[in-house]
Chains A and B, each alone.
Chain A
């Protein structure tokens, strides 16, 4: 596609529910990042994929967060047993290369946990 597509754009979950956020990157993007952005803050790194390999998951806040990119294209960020502090915008970004990249961000998925 022409850009990075994320869905859903908005998600309201009750505390304790599981959610899945999808990222459809630009074709050919080797690198894929997930960031979490709380209101008024900068994007916080969550995890990084190079093709289908998850090379860095050091930013995932807890074991309730899980990300996958099984075929090296579409990626899913799953949050189990959501908590109110998980409320944020989740941004997906892709880059062509495997090293220092120009990042193209998607519009984000805004998660609100009640």
Chain B
């Protein structure tokens, strides 16, 4: 599996503020996935990006895959308390997904 670095590690935002987390790799990725893990829960799949420059939206969430397929971002518009959790961006070579430490988001009401 290919490892990506994710920043920031932690982010506290006021409810209604926007939030972005970034994943960067030194090598070209074949694909990248995003998962969300609520406190006390397990990782839940959000989306997979495969194409260079791909942008996908899910309601307030916007996912991007860089043109060089070496970086990705997740942007949340107008955060809500339900967005609290840790967001992971594992990348895969053939089958193995390396998760890293993720970005822990806290939303203050």
Contact = CB atoms under 8 A, between A and B. Distances in A.
Interface of A: 31, 33, 35, 41-45, 48, 50, 55-56, 91, 93, 98-108
Contacts of B43: 43, 91, 93, 103, 105
28 contacts: A41-B101, A42-B88, A42-B100, A42-B101, A43-B99, A45-B96, A45-B97, A45-B98, A45-B99, A48-B95, A55-B95, A56-B95, A56-B96, A91-B42, A100-B31, A100-B92, A100-B94, A101-B92, A102-B45, A102-B48, A103-B35, A103-B43, A103-B97, A104-B45, A105-B42, A107-B41, A107-B42, A108-B42
Interface string B53-64: 000000000000
B31 to A, nearest CB: 6
Interface of B: 1, 30-31, 33, 35, 41-45, 48, 86, 88, 92, 94-102
B29 to A, nearest CB: 11
